[in-house]
Amino acid sequence: MKTKILRKKLIVFLLSCMMVVGFIPVTSLAADQETVTITIPSTMHVQSGKLTVAKGEKMEDVILTIDEDYHENREITAKINQNWGTYGISLNMDPHYPPKFKISGWPKCDIDLSEWAIKKKPQPIIHTVSGNEPRSEGGKGYIVAIENNMEYRLKGTETWTTSKGDDTNHYSEEVEAGQTYEVRYKTNWTQLPSEIMEVYVPRYGQTVRAYGFLKTESYLYDGTAHTCEANEDYTIVGGITTAIDAGTYEISVIPAGDKTWRDGTRGAKTPTWEIKKANQDKPSAFICDKTVFTWSSRW
């Protein structure tokens, strides 16, 4: 019985020794193995791969994404790729948008890529886009002069739609009439989206022409006050509407009610009206000191 117990203790002791002898060298080797670390910007994120790897050994490709408001700093890319002998890695970007980035190679040292991402620049607001009414009652309206580097959405909604226009030809997007839409330049490789421009697309028959504002645009001076009056599709909101003296007078006019101009806007136009000088008949003759003088156009 005692022999069996001693035998078991001996076996346990030998196994313990084997474990110690077997694992200590491996642990020592792992501790002695040198590693390097690649530091990336906080706006870039690892999708696959590791940034701390064995020095000088082939690393698993690291795939990165980047925040939408940032883009690649090409100076950093060029610096690393042109100095392969120093760094041992290469930096590459997927040509599709949104971009992904790849770090590959045999890193030779710690590498700081913290400036590899830089903030995108803003784009100017759009001023060329307008809204057009449907061509027939019950039809669709149009967002006009919109290009494929722009996007639009119904005001109050979340989803943006990219225009189907191209870089050289303006395009009309068919949309529901009687609605306000938001239009902007969409984000690209190096630029942020522009500020939003609001575009109203009128209903059929809702628009008015930007001329023919007044019932009468010209009066003849007669010493009394004259007041200009707008046609039924327009409302006078400012300027000089009543005058006596001959001259030209400016007023401000907007579409009446809920009507709009042809481009869907309602901003004031500034037409003029006038009071012309009265006609004066030329005298055929006049008398001075009992002498009669005859009028001549040659004077």
Residue 106 confidence (pLDDT): 96
- Residues 201 and 219 reside in one and the same domain: no
Query: Residue 215: phi, psi to the nearest 5?
Result: -65, -40
Q: Is the domain of 143 the same as that of 87?
A: no
**Same domain, yes or no: 109 and 87:** yes
Residue 17 has a CB neighbour count (10 Å cut-off) of 10
Per residue of the chain (299 residues), what is the pLDDT tens digit?
555 555 555 555 555 555 544 443 433 334 456 999 999 999 999 999 999 999 999 999 999 999 999 999 999 999 999 999 999 999 999 888 889 999 999 999 999 999 999 999 999 999 889 999 999 999 999 999 998 899 999 999 999 999 987 555 568 899 999 999 999 999 998 999 999 999 999 999 998 988 899 999 999 999 999 999 999 999 999 999 999 999 999 999 999 999 998 888 889 999 999 999 987 665 555 544 554 444 444 43
Assess if residue 261 is contained within a domain. yes
Same domain, 250 and 176: no
Q: Give the C-alpha separation, 135 to 137, whole Å.
A: 7
Q: Is the dihedral of CA 177, 178, 179, 184 positive or negative?
A: positive
Cα(198)–Cα(155) distance, rounded to whole angstroms? 8
Same domain (yes/no): 237, 265: yes
Q: What integer pLDDT is reported at residue 98 of this predicted model?
A: 87
Classify residue 114 by its DSSP letter.
T
Same domain, 85 and 43: yes
201 and 216 in a single domain? The answer is no
Query: pLDDT tens digits, residue range 135-149?
Result: 999 999 999 999 889
- Residue 161 DSSP symbol: E
Domain assignment of residue 25, yes or no: no
What predicted TM-score, i.e. pTM, was given to this entire model? 0.63
pLDDT of residue 7: 58
| 265 is a domain residue | yes
Q: How far apart are alpha carbons 7 and 1 in whole angstroms?
A: 10
* Angle value at C-alpha 149, between 147 and 151, nearest 5 degrees: 80
Distance CA 40, CA 50 (A): 11
Which H or E run includes 199?
A: strand 197-201
Measured CA to CA, the distance from residue 237 to residue 235 in angstroms comes to 6
CA distance 170 to 183: 14
Answer whether residue 255 is part of any domain: yes
Burial of 228 (0-12, 13-18, 19+ CB in 10 A): buried
Whether omega before 98 lies within 30 degrees of 0, making that bond cis, reads yes
Do 180 and 215 belong together in one domain?
A: no
Same domain, 224 and 270: yes
The rounded distance, in Å, linking the Cα atoms of 83 and 93 is 18
Number of domains into which the chain is organized: 3
Residues 100 and 66 in one domain: yes
Please check whether residues 41 and 109 belong to one and the same domain: yes
Domain that holds residue 102: 35-118
Domain assignment present for residue 291? The answer is no
Instruction: Assess if residue 30 is contained within a domain.
Output: no
The CATH number of the domain holding residue 169 is: 2.60.40
What are the tens digits of pLDDT across the range 239-296? 999 999 999 999 999 999 999 988 888 899 999 999 999 876 655 555 445 544 444 4
What is the structure's pLDDT at 29? Answer: 35
Amino acid found at 106: W
From the list 96, 89, 81, 85, the residue with the least C-alpha distance to 39 is 89
